[in-house]
Chains A and B, each alone.
Chain A
Amino acid sequence: MTRNAPPPADSGAVRSAGSSGSGSSGAGRPGFLWAVPAAVFFGLFAIVPLIMVAVLSFASWDGLSDPEFTGLDNWRTLLDDPVMIKSLWLSVLLTVLGVAVQTPLSILLGVWAAGHQRNRAVLSAIYFVPLLLSIAAVSVLWRAVLDPNLGVPAHATWLFGDGNLFGTQATAIGVLVFVSTWQFTPLHTLIYQGAARAVPPVLYQAAQIDGAGRVRQFFHITLPQLRNSIITSVILMVVGGLTTFDTVLILTQGGPGSDTTISAYYMYQKAFKSFDYGAASAIALLLVLVSTVISLIVVRLSGYDKMRSTMEGL
């Protein structure tokens, strides 16, 4: 990836240590001890809970009495549970819709915002604001704005009809996608803005000499140059999409019926509404497995693992 973001504080230190230490022994690579804080943190807050969740998924536990091992019972009921299967599809659907809506939008906005004109700087600063708000606050805000009788839909019946946005599956999903787009597009815009600014101007100059117009320049220079940023941004979106929770909790509570009950929310319902920690753990583990598979696929398809420089030949 091109170095378009300010380098993280420590990478400079490591690099200078490496270059000045060439030749002298042992100065180049940081010692094993350096990994301890991160490893301890990761172990305590990721590995240990994951193992406990895996164990719990084979038990029945309401948090009161001791966990009781029930073998594969949780898994059997889970795989027979129509809501569970539906929730996985809904998670995938929300993720795909999120990527499909946010990517083109944020590429266009990012490339536009990369220009150095003053009005663009001002507007993109304003446009950045949603990202600074908490997801919970944003969701509460939109819940109020979209109230069918007291909010915007009441005054725009030509668009919203009776305003029953949270009452049908299609519109409820639409609202969820819209709200996360509203909140997270600025982040991806920022990624693309930085990347677009890093595109070497010589490429555009050469294209101009060859007589390429703006559209052509966008498709033949800007987009290919943004390739690695697109991969980064899409992976962020996939991770964000699969772990969506807050918007569902506040906007739809998984409704109408179970029509927006995505896996993460279903897990929450099982654990903290029904106090069935065994089943909730099984869902959690399933979610981990599914997410791992999806991210492996994304990494494979995108070539993230062998990301090539866009600066080759320059």
Chain B
Amino acid sequence: MKQRARFSRTAVVGGAALALVLSLSGCGGGSDAADGDTIHVLVYGDAANKVEKELVATFNKTSKVKAVLDTIPGADYQAKLQTIINSKQAPDVFFNWGGGSIKPFVDAGLLLPLDPFIDKDPDLKAKFLPSVFNSAVVDGTSYGVPMRGTQPVLLFNNGKVLKKAGVEPPKTWDDLLAAVKALKVDGVTPIALGGGDRWPTLMWFEYLYDRIAGPELFQKALDGDKDAWASQDSRKALGKIRELVDAGAFGTNYDSVKFTDQGSPTLLATGRAGFELMGSWAYSTQQDAHPEFAKSDLGYSAFPSVEGGRGDQANVVGNTNNFYSVLKKTKHPQAVAAFLKLMYSDQFVKAQLSIGNLPTTTNTEGLLDTAASPEFAKFQYDMVKAAPAFQLSWDQAYPQAAATAMYQSLQQFFNGSMDEDAFIKAMQALPTS
């Protein structure tokens, strides 16, 4: 009796172990379904997928090769992409942020140059605003086609708060300093800043460097010229940041505030702050969380000019757009080319506009009236179209490997725990390729 019990128990345990091993070895296989005639399109999973689904459906109506849309939830996108891009599970076409986000893939020889497509169909380049299209050009070769909306950074304001303090949206740096003073007298935080997220702090650096030195300084630094960070213009920009922070423009607790958990938008919406420098998505954030405020008091303007600065007042910084890039090993380059052509179709533009995105195609202008917020869409479109240069966010222009150290130094310089020289040294130490 006991003997038998023991035997069966042993058998169960052994069987379980065997099953475990078998199931584990099953993991590696992956699923290679017979998808000879499909192209896989991998995108960042969020609300905009609605449009991507529509376009895939449109494409599949006429194409022999069918497109399949795969989505990865936002926060995991970059890590997952990095893991699969050089494996069997790699997609044919994938979403990215241009610039530094695709540079490593280009360097590893994974991406298909799009210039042959463009030679065949010049519209694939000509139909997009050049300042945007160019941010997916790596070493003179085009690797991406814009596929969502542009997100320039604007200086948002609370009209009611400004009025009470007798302040206008600032045109110059001195206006801004004066506004900060007036708002402080009124007892509000002049500028809301989600410093806990760090990238909102970055926006102040991007604009000041651009206004003072023009886009060339950053480009030089990105190309590996370490002296750019130590130049006089660089020091001047850092001085302006110090001046603004020390003037109390951001209050004292900005490093504990975040944009992503509604901290800073709420400050602006509830009248506890006068301004917030933020990407254009702040508009829809406010519409969702504070619809009344968005309708009546939410204002916006371009970043002020800086006297004596070399940069054009009309320059813009932000996320130029998202892009579709193509993997070299795709089996259906013709189908992919046909798919990419949809990215400047009227259907695409209308669909993006309806969900609040602002596409960067030349035919967008005529369709702006169909946008969710036509006035705001027009303001942004004119701004981006008129911009001589559109600076891609630094954290996206630099290789991924630089992001963490960059954020750390930005935050530390901003809150005063790192001085100018240490900051310059830290930026010089960032990997550029």
- Determine the distance from Cα of A44 to Cα of B254 in the docked complex, in whole angstroms: 46
User: Is B272 within 8 A of A255, CB to CB?
Assistant: no
Would B404 and A274 count as touching, CB distance under 8 A? yes
CB distance from B184 to the nearest CB of A (A): 14
**Known pairs A41-B20, A143-B261; A166 contacts B256 (CB<8 A):** yes
- Chain A residue contacts of B267, Cβ below 8 A: 149
B417 within 8 A of A: yes
Of A254, A256, A258, which contacts B255 at CB under 8 A?
A256
B388 interface contact, C-beta 8 A: no
Known contacts A166-B255, A257-B412; is-contact A33 B418 (Cβ 8 Å): no
Contact A255 B10 (CB under 8 A): no
Q: Closest approach, in angstroms, between the C-beta of B127 and any C-beta of chain A?
A: 31
> B83 on the interface (CB 8 Å rule)?
yes
Residues of A within 8 A of B82 (CB): 62-64, 275
Within 8 A of A (CB), among B368-412: 400-404, 408-409, 411-412
Q: Is the CB of B266 within 8 A of A64?
A: no
State in angstroms the CA–CA spacing of A89 and B253 once bound together. Answer: 26
Q: A64-B104, A150-B263, A257-B408 are in contact. Are A167 and B14 (CB under 8 A)?
A: no
In the complex, which residues 2-33 of chain B have their Cβ closer than 8 Å to any Cβ of chain A? 2, 10, 13-14, 16-17, 20-21, 24
Is A40 a contact of B79 with CB atoms below 8 Å? no
- Judge whether A255 and B198 touch: CB under 8 Å: yes
Known: A34-B13, A164-B252, A257-B412. A144 touches B261 (CB 8 A): yes
Chain B residue numbers with a CB within 8 Å of A253 are: 196, 198
Q: Is A269 an interface residue (CB 8 A)?
A: yes
B34 at the interface (CB under 8 A from A): no
* Chain A interface main SS type: loop
| CB <8 Å contact, B261 and A273 | no
A-chain residues with CB within 8 Å of residue B402 when the two chains form the complex: 274
Interface membership of A304, Cβ < 8 A: no
In the complex, the answer to whether B10 meets A167 with C-beta atoms within 8 Å is no
The reply to whether B253 and A40 contact each other, CB–CB distance below 8 Å, is no
Residue contact A33 to B198, C-beta cutoff 8 Å: no
Give the contacting residue for B417; candidates A44, A143, A254, A256; CB below 8 A: A256
Any A CB within 8 A of the CB of B195: yes
A36 on the B face (CB < 8 A): yes
Do residues B104 and A162 form an inter-chain contact, with CB atoms below 8 A?
no
Q: Given known contacts A33-B14, A269-B404, A275-B82, is B253 in contact with A148 (CB within 8 Å)? A: yes
In the complex, residue of chain A having the shortest beta-carbon distance to the beta carbon of B266: A150
Q: For residue B299, give the distance in angstroms from its CB to the closest CB of chain A.
A: 21
A36 contact set on B, CB distance < 8 A: 13-14, 17
B257 at interface, CB cutoff 8 A: yes
Q: Which residues of A contact B417 (CB under 8 A)?
A: 256-257
How far is the CB of B343 from the nearest CB of chain A, in Å? 26
Closest CB-CB distance, A83 to chain B, in whole Å?
8
Given A143-B261, A166-B256, A167-B253, A62–B403 Cβ distance below 8 Å? no
Q: Does A8 contact B (CB under 8 A)?
A: no
**Given contacts A36-B14, A164-B256, A256-B255, A62 and B404 within 8 Å (CB-CB):** no
With A36-B17, A147-B257, A147-B261 in contact, do A255 and B411 touch (Cβ < 8 Å)?
yes
Residues on the B chain within 8 Å of A146, using CB: 256
Q: Is A117 an interface residue (CB 8 A)?
A: no
> A272 contacts B79, CB within 8 Å?
yes
Nearest B residue to A143 via CB reads B261
How far is it, in angstroms, between the C-alpha of A283 and the C-alpha of B105 when the chains are bound? 25
- From B20, B83, B195, give the contact of A167 (CB < 8 A): B195
Contact B411 A257, beta carbon cutoff 8 Å: yes
* Cβ–Cβ < 8 Å partners of B255 in chain A: 164, 166-167, 255-256
Cβ contact within 8 Å between B17 and A64: no
Shortest C-beta distance, A280 to chain B (Å), equals 11
Question: Is the CB of B85 closer than 8 A to any CB of chain A?
Answer: yes
Across the interface, do A255 and B196 meet the contact criterion of CB distance under 8 Å? yes
A232-278 contacts to B (CB < 8 Å): 253-258, 269-270, 272-276
A98 within 8 A of B: no
Among B198, B263, B400, the residue within 8 A (CB) of A274 is: B400
Whether B21 lies near A147 (C-beta < 8 A) is no
Identity of the chain A residue whose Cβ is nearest the Cβ of B24 in the assembled complex: A44
- Contact A274–B401 (Cβ < 8 Å): yes
| Residue in contact with B256 in the complex, picked from A33, A65, A147, A274, CB distance below 8 Å | A147
B83: A residues at CB distance < 8 A: 63
When C-beta atoms are compared, the residue in chain A nearest to B267 turns out to be A149
B71 at the interface (CB under 8 A from A): no
Are B17's CB and A40's CB within 8 A? yes
Which chain A residue lies CB-closest to B252? Answer: A162
> At the interface, yes or no: B86 with Cβ under 8 Å from chain A?
yes
- Is B110 interfacial (CB-CB < 8 Å)? yes
Residue of A at shortest CB range from B409? A257
Is B196 a contact partner of A166 (Cβ separation < 8 A)? Answer: yes
Least CB distance, B317 to chain A, in whole angstroms: 22
A108 → B minimal CB distance (Å) = 31
| A163 & B13 in contact (Cβ 8 Å cutoff) | no
30 A–B contacts from the bound complex (CB under 8 Å):
A27-B2, A31-B10, A33-B14, A34-B10, A37-B13, A37-B17, A37-B20, A40-B17, A62-B82, A62-B108, A64-B82, A64-B85, A64-B86, A64-B104, A64-B110, A143-B258, A143-B261, A144-B261, A149-B257, A162-B251, A162-B252, A164-B252, A166-B256, A167-B254, A167-B415, A255-B255, A257-B409, A257-B412, A273-B400, A274-B402
Given contacts A62-B104, A166-B255, 18 further A-B contacts (CB under 8 A): A37-B13, A37-B20, A64-B82, A143-B258, A146-B256, A148-B256, A149-B263, A150-B263, A162-B251, A163-B256, A164-B255, A167-B256, A257-B409, A257-B417, A270-B404, A274-B403, A275-B401, A276-B401
Shortest beta-carbon contacts, A-B, top 3: A167-B255, A164-B253, A166-B256
> Which residues of B does A touch, CB under 8 Å?
2, 10, 13-14, 16-17, 20-21, 24, 79, 82-83, 85-86, 104-105, 108, 110, 195-196, 198, 251-258, 261, 263, 266-267, 272, 400-404, 408-409, 411-412, 415, 417-418
